[in-house]
Amino acid sequence: MVLMIEVCKLCEELASMSSRSSMVALVSRFIRGLEGRDVEIAVRFIVGELFPPWEPEIGLGVMGVVDSVIKVFSSSRPEFFKEFKATGDVGLAAMRIAERAKGRHMGLLDQRDLTIEEVYDAFKSIAEASGEGSRRRKLRLFSSLLFRAKSPLEVKYLVKLALGERRHGFGEGLMEEAIAEAFNVPHELVRRVNMLISDIGLTARIARSGGAEELKRQGIILFHPVKPMLAEKADSVLTALREMGGKAAFEVKVDGARVQIHKSNGQVRVFSRRATDVTLSLPDVVELVRSKVKAREVVLEGEVVALTREGRPAPFQVLMRRFRRQRGVTKALSEVPLRLYLFDILHLNGKTLIDMPYLERRRVLEEVVGKDMVIDTIVTGRYEEANAFYEEALRAGHEGLMAKSLDSPYTPGVRGKRWLKVKPLFNTLDLVVVAAEYGHGYRASMLSDLYLAAYNPETGEFEVVSKCFTGLTDEELNWMTRRLKEIAIREEGRVVYVEPKIVVEVAFDEVQKSPHYKSGLALRFPRVVRVRDDKAPWEADTIQTLAEIYEKQRGRGGQGG
């Protein structure tokens, strides 16, 4: 039985540390002695998660959490927001409000200390509350949980968990290392299983109970989305052919949203590339798979594209309206029709297929779903043929091509050169918003100046490479401002720092050397092209990608630095 206060104290200690190896050692010692459900829950709590990403959110919202704190500790909104302004942290503000209550509302003296299992079960009940009056039930349950807390520190982390906020810098990457060290298993096996089942808590439980052998045996679990394999960029069809050794499969790259579809008998669920369950938003896709895909169990990957009345691809933002919609879906079916293009198969009737070469997976895919549902593809080593296919894809309104190595396995969550995307706009990057600054003039109330960061897989950090204030409409900036305030972690003057959750596609002229940013690199003339709601932060382009672009610029006589 693990007490919640123990996890809270651990997270406080992590927040005071800067050494990655020391943090990993501390967490590995802590989880080594845990078993079963405790290790699963503790691992999730430490990385700031309540549930796996595809499970429903608790649905309290920032103001619901704040109002519960105010109610339980007899405070007020002005008092709370005074503390928030001083700390820039909702959890820390809640802790100070609880401290001010001087124990008058900190649990009952004869009440047992909270366990992490009790906290998890309470949040599960909050998430599952639905129907008429569910909002009141959610708030009542969360208030009861706060009342059970016996220390202000527990209040701080209950609030953080409710908001999905993590401030101590210990994410999934470091947790994978801690699991490997705690249970004496290879790090690469831990990472592979976490990529396969998208559940760091369950991964820890498997490592704890069965060690390396059980990790090796672990395959795909139906209705646990597999983290998607990622692609690097190529600036031309010729470059892609050279990278692939002279011959490759070229698939049409549609301007859609990537989806992963799980089917078991009559049950079908659809997940976004961020592992969010979007089944309710895409009933037409569900029905198509249910009626056309005859396999008993299957996991498919593809893209859905919104269509115009003429049957051509509609803008990406039109598609996103379908993805975000939970109500009025029936009306949306006729307003925004979709087409599903499948391009991979990861699991079939109890067998995980990701280690099979691309060509074999492609053959199995066509046998299972038929060629009509599979994306247009050619296999060639001739530049002329590949380039003609590329130009034809562009004329049809698609983004370009995907080039895939013929013998490539499917490597979940890994970005590499076995898959390459070829697009005419090479100078675009997917970056993450990590902060924003209020604008000027009529934009003074909008967070219009965005701080954009690339992912550094070596450190697990997002490093700023640009400040951008062009590209978004006022309507989009209003949406962005609301969203950024929901994920804010602190304010310093006019700058609001946020959790790295929002991905945007950014066009630019060049990559330059910069003394102003930790990364040492900056974008010249950046402008936001669109918001990528379909992408997870860890799918953003990397610092290493920017460095490669910089070196290529130098090679062709660009400004470089």
Single residue among 117, 143, 163 that ends a domain in this structure: 163
User: Regarding predicted confidence, which is higher, 82 or 560?
Assistant: 82
Examine the pLDDT at 375 and tell me if it is beyond 60. Answer: yes
Give the confidence band of 326 by pLDDT, cuts at 50, 70, 90.
low
pLDDT score of 105: 55
Beta-bridge mates of residue 264: 267, 297
| Residues 206, 30: Cα–Cα separation, whole Å | 17
Q: Which domain holds residue 129?
A: 49-163
Measured distance CA(14)–CA(367) in Å, rounded: 51
Amino acid at 267: Q
Average pLDDT over residues 296-313: 90
Both 130 and 246 in a single domain?
A: no
Q: With a cut of 50, say whether residue 385 has pLDDT above it.
A: yes
**Which one-letter DSSP state was computed for residue 87?**
H
**Same domain for 362 and 237:** yes
Nearest to 145 by CA among 121, 165, 110, 164: 121
Structure confidence at residue 442 (pLDDT)? 78
- Say what angle helices 36-46 and 4-15 make with each other, to 10 degrees: 40
Q: Report the distance separating Cα 420 and Cα 424, nearest Å.
A: 13
Residue reference for tokens 């003296």: 109
Say whether both 447 and 511 belong to one domain: yes
Which active-site residues does the annotation give? 253
Where a domain ends, among 422, 455, 482?
Answer: 422
- Whether 282 and 296 map to the same domain: the answer is yes
Q: DSSP secondary-structure letter at 436?
A: E
The pLDDT tens digits of the residues spanning 235-252 come to: 899 999 999 999 999 999
| Stretch among 100-104, 223-227, 346-350 having the lowest mean pLDDT | 100-104
- Looking up tokens 């439980």 gives 205
What is 64-123 written as a DSSP string?
HHHHHHHHHTT--HHHHHHHHHHHS-HHHHHHHHHHHTTTTTS--TTSPPPBHHHHHHHH
**By C-alpha distance, which of 484, 468, 170, 479 is closest to 317?**
479
Instruction: Identify whether 58 is part of a domain.
Output: yes
Decide: residue 349, CB within 10 A, 0-12 exposed, 13-18 middle, 19+ buried: exposed
159: in domain: yes
* Dist CA 278 CA 175 (whole Å): 27
Mean pLDDT across the chain, nearest whole number? Answer: 90
Residue 58: per-residue pLDDT: 92
Most confident of 61-70, 160-169, 296-305, 523-532: 296-305
- pLDDT, tens digit (0-9, with 9 covering 90-100), for 257-275: 999 999 999 899 999 988 9
Q: Are strands 415-422 and 230-234 parallel, antiparallel or unpaired?
A: parallel
CATH code where residue 440 lies:
2.40.50.140
Domain termination residue (choose one: 141, 163, 185): 163
Q: What is the pLDDT of residues 420-465, one digit of tens each?
A: 999 875 578 999 999 999 988 778 888 989 999 999 887 778 999 9
Kindly provide the residue ranges of all beta strands, DSSP E only, lying in 283-412, ordered along the sequence.
297-306, 338-348, 351-352, 377-380, 400-404
Residue 299 belongs to some domain of the structure: yes
Contact 100, 94 (CB under 8 A): no
Note the pTM of the prediction, 2 decimals: 0.82
Backbone angles phi, psi at 465, to 5 degrees: -130, 0
> Do the domain assignments include residue 269?
yes
What is the percent of the chain where pLDDT is above 90? 61
In a domain, 34, yes or no: no
Please give the share of the chain, as a percent, with pLDDT higher than 70.
94
Q: 467 and 400 share a domain?
A: no
Q: Burial, 385: exposed, middle or buried (Cβ in 10 Å; 0-12, 13-18, 19+)?
A: middle
CATH code of the domain in which 57 resides: 1.10.3260.10
Residue keyed to tokens 């859905």: 304
Q: For 35-57, what is each residue's pLDDT tens digit?
A: 889 999 999 999 999 999 889 88
Predicted local confidence at residue 443, as pLDDT: 80
Whether the CB-CB separation of 47 and 172 falls below 8 Å is answered with: yes
Model confidence pLDDT, tens digit, residues 517-530? 888 999 988 999 88
- Rounded Cα distance, 254 and 402, in Å: 9
CATH of the domain at 368: 3.30.470.30
Can you give the pLDDT at residue 561?
40
pLDDT at 331: 66
Q: CA–CA separation, 272 vs 3, rounded Å? A: 35
Integer angstrom CA distances of residue 306 from 313, 334, 339, 525: 6, 11, 7, 31
Q: E strands within 365-446?
A: 377-380, 400-404, 415-422, 428-438
What is the predicted pLDDT for the residue at 555? Answer: 61
Q: Tell me: pLDDT of 330 over 90.
A: no
- DSSP state at residue 273: T
Secondary structure of residue 439 in the 3-state scheme: coil
Kindly state whether residues 378 and 443 are assigned to the same domain: no
| DSSP conformational letter for 522 | E
